[in-house]
Amino acid sequence: MSGDSLVSVRNLHRRYGRLHAVKGVSFELRRGEVLGLLGPNGAGKTTTMQMICGALAPTSGEILIDGNDLLSAPRQTKGKIGYLPERPPLYGELSVDEYLLYCARLRHVARSRAAAAVAHAKSLCGLEQTGARLIANLSKGYQQRVGVAQAIVHTPAVVVLDEPTVGLDPIQIREIRNLIGALRDDHAVILSTHILPEVQTVCDRVQILNEGRIVLDERLDALDRASTALRVAFRRPPGNEVLEGLPQVTAVEPVEGGRLRLEHESGAELADALAERSAAGDWGLYEMIPERHGLEEIFVSLTCGEVEPVATPNAVTTQE
């Protein structure tokens, strides 16, 4: 679902003295997109998110939120962002209702609408029953939910969540993921996480940050499409047309050593079918190796120094 551009980041730099933490990060995000930000620790994810939310001033660069310049008009722009930092900014001595009301009023939600906004945020986060409870008395999962609630109570255009599911049990993790799914309709969401499967289930787009630079910026479905293939070797190979005719095989190409590389649709389980057909047709299948460029592999290869350009030309244009 593509909508208007809600986040436009251009050439963002951040230096801490001699440490160049963020080096020229640029990207755009539209309404309805959920962006997953990955990267090893110290890559600059939190710094980038803090700059986008206005908690940290960039050394240079431009940030536009829904058309407003964050750096020259912070008061108008910050109201359009909701931010959940790694440690939720909760006041333990306040009750959930008091806290969310404060957060709403802090972001200039009109007094007349504040109560309704709080109720709506609570219902989205499953906090209806905990309104009167003190935040300090809530479990970690519920505190995290309150953290998410404060990020959305003023219905911002952009929601930025820094590791929202860390420390939660599997049920709570699933609930947060559902919540993010519910948010995507009207907002743009930026999510930072270490949990790769989370990116795959929740996000549309993934960015990998390494040493302050974006090394991958790609839509997840494009990544999946480009990365599944099977390397096979037959003693008595049938013709390529036969192999291409197999269900879910999209292309066949010969590679070194007399092997064949079968590209197939993402998620296809070719192994069994291929083995059966090979046995039936006496093709003499003696080698079958899945070529998996899973997200983890891409992550490791990109962040450990070897730059493997798995990204298609799509990635380059989105950075401009």
Partner 1 sequence: MLTIAGRELRSLFLSPLAWSVLAVVQLILAYVFLIQIESFLQWQPRLPSIPNAPGLTALVVAPLFKTAGAVLMMVVPLLTMRLVSEEIRSGTFSLLLTAPRTMTEIVAGKFTAIVIFLCFTIALILIMPLLLLLGGTLDFGLLAACVVGLFFLLASFAAAGLYMSTLTAQPTVAAVSTFGLLLLLWVLDWAGAAGDADASGLFAYLSLATHANAMLRGVFDTRDLVYYVLFILSFLTLAVKRLDAMRLQG
Interface residues with partner 1 (CB under 8 A) are: 14, 16, 47, 50, 53-57, 74-79, 81, 83, 85, 87-91, 93-94, 98, 102-103, 105-108, 150
- Residue pointed to by tokens 């983890």: 296
List, in sequence order, the alpha helices (H) in the chain. Answer: 45-53, 74-77, 96-106, 111-125, 140-152, 170-183, 196-202, 220-226, 240-244, 270-281, 295-303, 313-319
Q: Based on C-alpha coordinates, what's the Rg of the chain?
A: 24
Cα gap 55→144, rounded to integer Å: 20
Cα gap 216→207, rounded to integer Å: 5
Cα gap 7→68, rounded to integer Å: 9
Element (H, E) at 211: none
Q: How far is the CB of 89 from partner 1 (least distance, A)?
A: 4
Tokens of 222: 């494009």
Q: Which residues contact 294 (CB under 8 A, 6 or more apart)?
A: 227
Q: How far is the CB of 273 from partner 1 (least distance, A)?
A: 53
76 or 312: whose CB is closer to partner 1? 76
36 or 88: whose CB is closer to partner 1? 88
77 or 303: whose CB is closer to partner 1? 77
Pair 155, 80: CB distance under 8 Å:
no
Q: How far is the CB of 107 from partner 1 (least distance, A)?
A: 6
51 or 243: whose CB is closer to partner 1? 51
14 or 122: whose CB is closer to partner 1? 14
Q: How far is the CB of 14 from partner 1 (least distance, A)?
A: 8
Q: How far is the CB of 142 from partner 1 (least distance, A)?
A: 17
30-51: burial string, b at 16+ Cβ within 10 Å, e else: bbbbbbbbbbbeebbbbbbbbb
Pair 176, 141: CB distance under 8 Å:
no
154 or 205: whose CB is closer to partner 1? 154
Q: How far is the CB of 245 from partner 1 (least distance, A)?
A: 57
Q: How far is the CB of 64 from partner 1 (least distance, A)?
A: 16
190 or 215: whose CB is closer to partner 1? 190
Q: How far is the CB of 264 from partner 1 (least distance, A)?
A: 46
104 or 168: whose CB is closer to partner 1? 104
Cα gap 70→53, rounded to integer Å: 8
Tokens of 13: 């730099």
Tokens of 243: 């192999």
Cα gap 43→209, rounded to integer Å: 6
